[in-house]
């Protein structure tokens, strides 16, 4: 059974590699994604300075480029390729669950204690330091901290600089003003 699965995976990889090789010139010219003669990905575009997409999602991205792009229809090709690139560069939550709050119970070392923690959802005192996979918790905390840093120091400042939506989006509900700095200053001046 596993030999059949492995053979199917290899066939899919070979077909996708051939599709990407055939369209490599167009992919490079229009999307700045460079694929060499051997079908290897050698370069990705820099969409946002100081931001690198999650490379764990690269195989999915390459599979999407090979399977889901309509290479023969120009408008559909641009639409589907933009969607694939956008999905790859999107800021997804880390694969590891957030270890803060109730998420910490997912990092117990053995299945039995994990099941008992699932039955006693509110009993967070049962998550002793000794029962935790500390290496995995540290990895998850680092991944979530990196995500928060990227949002705060890369994404929000870039949105402030580069996002120039049309005025119609202010009235159609796409963007909603939640605070006005001028009004907040006036309120705090009174205090």
Q: Give me Rg for the CA atoms of the chain.
A: 23
Determine the Cα–Cα distance for residues 114 and 103; give it in Å rounded to an integer.
11
pLDDT tens digits for range 87-102? 999 999 888 888 887 7
pLDDT tens digits for range 57-67? 999 999 999 99
The residue ranges of every structural domain in the chain are 1-89
What mean pLDDT do residues 156-172 have? 90
pLDDT tens digits for range 109-143? 654 544 554 554 444 444 455 567 788 888 889 99
pLDDT tens digits for range 13-39? 899 999 999 999 999 999 999 999 888
Determine the Cα–Cα distance for residues 1 and 175; give it in Å rounded to an integer.
52
Mention every residue, 6+ apart, whose C-beta is less than 8 A from residue 120. Answer: 126
Question: CB–CB of 94/144 below 8 Å?
Answer: yes
């Amino acid at each position: 059974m596993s030999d059949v699965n492995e053979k199917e995976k290899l066939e899919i990889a070979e077909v996708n590699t051939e599709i990407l090789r055939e369209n490599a010139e167009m992919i490079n010219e229009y999307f700045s994604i460079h694929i060499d003669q051997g079908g290897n990905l050698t370069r990705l575009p820099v969409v946002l300075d100081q931001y690198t997409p999650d490379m764990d999602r690269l195989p999915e991205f390459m599979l999407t480029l090979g399977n889901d792009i309509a290479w023969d229809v120009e408008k559909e090709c641009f639409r589907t390729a933009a969607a694939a690139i956008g999905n790859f560069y999107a800021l997804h939550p880390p694969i590891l669950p957030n270890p803060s709050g109730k998420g910490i119970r997912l990092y117990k070392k053995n299945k039995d204690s994990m099941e008992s923690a699932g039955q006693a959802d509110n009993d967070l005192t049962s998550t002793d330091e000794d029962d935790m996979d500390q290496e995995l918790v540290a990895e998850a905390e680092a991944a979530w901290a990196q995500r928060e840093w990227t949002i705060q120091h890369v994404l929000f400042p870039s949105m402030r600089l580069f996002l120039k939506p049309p005025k119609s989006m202010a009235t159609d509900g796409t963007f909603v003003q939640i605070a006005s700095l001028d009004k907040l200053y006036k309120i705090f001046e009174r205090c």
